[in-house]
Amino acid sequence: MEIKKKATRESYGEALAALSTEFEDLYVLDADLAAATKTGIFKKACPERFIDCGIAEANMMGVAAGMAAAGKKVFASSFAMFAAGRAFEIVRNSIGYPHLNVKIGATHAGISVGEDGATHQCNEDIALMRTIPGMTIINPADDVEAKAAVRAALEFEGPVYMRFGRLAVPVFNDPDTYEFKLGKGITLRDGNDITIVATGLMVNEALIAADKLLEEGIKARVINIHTIKPIDRELIVKAAQETCAIVTAEEHSVIGGLGSAVADVVTEEYPVPVYKVGVNDEFGHSGPAVELLKQFGLCADNIADKVRKALGNK
Amino acid sequence: MDQLTKKQLEITACKVRMGIIEGVYNAKSGHPGGSLSIADVLTYLYFNRMNVDPKDPKKADRDRLVLSKGHTAPALYSVLAQKSYFPEEELKSLRHIGAMLQGHPDMKHIPGVDMSSGSLGQGISAAAGMALAGKKSGASYRVYAILGDGELEEGQVWEAAMFSAHYRLSNLTAIVDNNGLQIDGKITDVCSPMPITDKFAAFGWNVVTADAHDFDSLEKAFAASDNSDKPTVIVQTSTKGKGVSYMENQVGWHGTAPNTEQYEIAMKELSDRLAVLEG
């Protein structure tokens, strides 16, 4: 059976449009990227509550803060590079410090931006956003999770950074049974040999890796961490206790992202080796997204290799 | 403006200046120069113009003020204290550990502060967001943002200026406190933002000028913002350190607190002035 594929940015735009009638004080801001971030879908459904701020991300974040201070529910959208990178200090001081109810919808995150190359491939956004006190960070893995996450963020009071991708990725969650709980990881595969903790598009790769490893007799637990902050400490500590080693997988720098967040928990509470699959300390470059993901080791094969290495080292 | 109202505003502004000196002296740090230059406009806004209620600081239809030049928080705090948002005594613990009054405005903990600010260039964007939210809701409130002239060197100010004109935020009034000095010297020597009025006009704003230390002039300027269909900027010509003789037009008083001797001189000058006004 062909697995359906969809980019989470598409899910983001559709979810916003779907929620526009239910939430009359929902406003969506963009910085001249509505066609790419897919907030254009909301704009079509609800033009009077769509605000194009032009190519001025710093001001957009400030406007979002002001609208939130005046009681509106605001999503501010751009590429991750500009939302988290360029506008970082505005997000910190105008949104984070006063803990305003702004949701940042950051699309085109990670290396899978593809052909646009290094300037647009943001592998640092999770690290940046993690350092802001009180910031919630959500990195959904597929269409089903992304849509549920948008609603959850909207219903949550406080600043949230949401990370979406440009590349169409497999939809592996079942919309009929899927349940999103903010701050709670999801155990997708049971196993006691090792744990793979993954986020975003790497969750599906982790599942493929786990299947391959099973053929070799390795039973890997797979945990999907969609909420990177606050992270599900309990689930991670339990995995550390029961499986003795962890491999993390993320489409983000190995510095400051999911791997670091998991290591922070484990080193404090139950030290076990943590091996990271992610973008090493380097910039990306142009190329087709799928090829780049392979080249940078953001794939099931590399996760499986890391697991074998981890088990060999145990 | 009638003479009695004017006299009353002058008295209040003098007390506000005393509160600024009290706060900065006790903090042993802070920014007296730019606080003193906006003491009059803040007094005018809170005591003569803005629809606010200290007993209900968060009421939905209140006018809002964003102190984009957030380092001059002592002036805002002193006005809010005069307006009875909190006791004047609080000013003495400005910047102290565990105190309510932070070095820069903190909307989470200080009644009457509508937006946290301090990183220059950001407040005007937040003010624009508030104004847009008001327009979208059909609310009648007005939003004021006070910027420094040096602050205009921040690119974000001009992003916000473009945005505000584009969305015709006629319920937004920005005040540029043109005292001509910034930390490193004269604004025209550091990296000149001049000509200020022409720039805002080119960005599509209604531009008005005022004498920052003359309540008649301020009233006229603010009245000119009421009927515009554009956002209004009031460029007020001010004196940094206004009201304390040795601080006036001295760049060194941008971010320095007076010592005990200087504090006493400042307070004597201001209390003498108060006695004349009240006499």
Contacts 24+ apart (CB under 8 A), B262-267: B263/B21, B263/B25, B266/B21, B267/B18, B267/B21, B267/B22
Residue B89 makes CB contacts below 8 A (sequence gap 6+) with: none
Based on its alpha-carbon atoms, the radius of gyration of chain A, rounded to whole angstroms, reads 19
Residue A216 makes CB contacts below 8 A (sequence gap 6+) with: none
pLDDT at residue A113 is higher than 80: yes
A289 in contact with B at a CB cutoff of 8 Å? no
- Helices A8-19 and A143-155 cross at an angle (nearest 10°) of 40
Q: What's the average model confidence in pLDDT over A85-97?
A: 98
CATH number at residue A23: 3.40.50.970
Tell if the CB–CB gap between A69 and B114 is shorter than 8 Å: yes
pLDDT in tens, B107-158: 999 999 999 999 999 999 999 999 999 999 999 999 999 999 999 999 999 9
Provide the greatest CA pair distance for chain A: 59
Tell if the CB–CB gap between B129 and A71 is shorter than 8 Å: no
**Res A153: pLDDT:** 98
Tell if the CB–CB gap between A63 and B126 is shorter than 8 Å: yes
Structure tokens at B169: 């935020």
**Res A54: pLDDT:** 98
Tell if the CB–CB gap between A54 and B167 is shorter than 8 Å: no
Task: Give the closest-approach CA distance of B172 to chain A in angstroms.
Answer: 12
Residue A45 makes CB contacts below 8 A (sequence gap 6+) with: A17, A20
Which of A170, A197, A213 is at the close of a domain?
A170
**Residue A99 with chain B: CB contacts under 8 Å:** 108
**Res A313: pLDDT:** 67
A156 in the same domain as A110: yes
**Residue A97 with chain B: CB contacts under 8 Å:** 106, 116
Domain count, chain B: 1
Structure tokens at B135: 């327009």
Residue A181 in any domain: the answer is no
Q: List A residues 95-124 in contact with B (Cβ-Cβ < 8 A).
A: 97-99
Residue keyed to tokens 């049971």: A190
Spatial distance between the Cα atoms of B94 and B73, rounded to a whole number of angstroms: 10
- The DSSP result for B87-107, as a single string, is -GGGGGGTT-TT-SS-SS--T
DSSP for residue A16: H
Residue A128 in any domain: the answer is yes
Residue keyed to tokens 């769509």: A50
Residue B1 in any domain: the answer is no
B102 in contact with A at a CB cutoff of 8 Å? no
Which of A110, A141, A170 is at the close of a domain?
A170
CATH number at residue B273: 3.40.50.970
Tell if the CB–CB gap between A67 and B107 is shorter than 8 Å: no
**Residue B122 with chain A: CB contacts under 8 Å:** 58, 62, 90, 93-94
**Res B1: pLDDT:** 92
Q: List B residues 56-85 in contact with A (Cβ-Cβ < 8 A).
A: 60, 64, 66
Tell if the CB–CB gap between B125 and A90 is shorter than 8 Å: yes
Residue A176 in any domain: the answer is no
Which of A63, A66, A64, A17 minimizes the C-alpha distance to A37? A17
A90 in contact with B at a CB cutoff of 8 Å? yes
Which of B149, B144, B154 minimizes the C-alpha distance to B179? B149
Residue B37 in any domain: the answer is yes
pLDDT in tens, A232-276: 999 999 999 999 899 999 999 999 999 999 999 999 999 999 999
Spatial distance between the Cα atoms of A44 and B136, rounded to a whole number of angstroms: 18
Cα angle vertex A227, ends A301, A235, to 5°? 75
Provide the greatest CA pair distance for chain B: 53
Three-state secondary structure call for residue B144: strand
Query: Which positions of A are annotated as active-site residues?
Result: 57
Structure tokens at B20: 């600024």
* CB distance B205 to B161 below 8 Å: yes
pLDDT in tens, A154-172: 999 999 999 999 999 999 9
CATH number at residue A298: 3.40.50.920
Spatial distance between the Cα atoms of A151 and A157, rounded to a whole number of angstroms: 12
* CB distance A85 to A126 below 8 Å: no
Spatial distance between the Cα atoms of A10 and A79, rounded to a whole number of angstroms: 13
Sign of the dihedral defined by the CA atoms of residues B53, B213, B157, B106, in that order: negative
Tell if the CB–CB gap between B126 and A27 is shorter than 8 Å: no
Spatial distance between the Cα atoms of A272 and B242, rounded to a whole number of angstroms: 63
Nearest to A98 among B108, B128, B132 (CB): B108
Structural domain including B93 reads 6-242+253-278
Q: How many residues does chain A have?
A: 314
* CB distance A9 to A37 below 8 Å: yes
B38 in contact with A at a CB cutoff of 8 Å? no
Tell if the CB–CB gap between B126 and A72 is shorter than 8 Å: no
**Residue A67 with chain B: CB contacts under 8 Å:** 129-130, 132-133
pLDDT at residue A89 is higher than 80: yes
Which of A170, A196, A211 is at the close of a domain?
A170
Tell if the CB–CB gap between B129 and A58 is shorter than 8 Å: no
Structure tokens at A207: 């599942």
For chain A, the straight-line distance linking the first and the last C-alpha, in angstroms and rounded, comes to 38
Neighbours of A311 (CB within 10 A): 17
Task: Give the closest-approach CA distance of A62 to chain B in angstroms.
Answer: 5
**Residue B64 with chain A: CB contacts under 8 Å:** 70
Structural domain including A265 reads 186-312
Model confidence at B226, pLDDT cuts 50, 70, 90, reads: confident
**Res A293: pLDDT:** 98
A124 in the same domain as A19: yes
Residue A150 in any domain: the answer is yes
Spatial distance between the Cα atoms of A35 and A166, rounded to a whole number of angstroms: 12
Residue A279 makes CB contacts below 8 A (sequence gap 6+) with: A110, A111, A123, A251, A252, A253, A254, A296, A298
pLDDT at residue A314 is higher than 90: no
**Res B181: pLDDT:** 97
Phi, psi of A279 (to 5 degrees): -80, 120
Which of A27, A28, A75, A83 minimizes the C-alpha distance to A55? A83
Spatial distance between the Cα atoms of B76 and B89, rounded to a whole number of angstroms: 15
Domain count, chain A: 2
Q: What is the ipTM of this complex?
A: 0.97
**Residue A68 with chain B: CB contacts under 8 Å:** 129
A162 in the same domain as A45: yes
Spatial distance between the Cα atoms of A254 and A124, rounded to a whole number of angstroms: 9
A160 in the same domain as A213: no
- Helices A57-69 and B155-166 cross at an angle (nearest 10°) of 60
Residue A214 makes CB contacts below 8 A (sequence gap 6+) with: A220
Residue keyed to tokens 């109810």: A101
Q: What's the average model confidence in pLDDT over A67-82?
A: 98
Neighbours of A219 (CB within 10 A): 15
pTM over 0.90? The answer is yes
A49 in contact with B at a CB cutoff of 8 Å? yes
Based on its alpha-carbon atoms, the radius of gyration of chain B, rounded to whole angstroms, reads 17
Residue A69 in any domain: the answer is yes
A293 in the same domain as A144: no
**Residue A63 with chain B: CB contacts under 8 Å:** 125-126, 128-129, 132, 160, 163
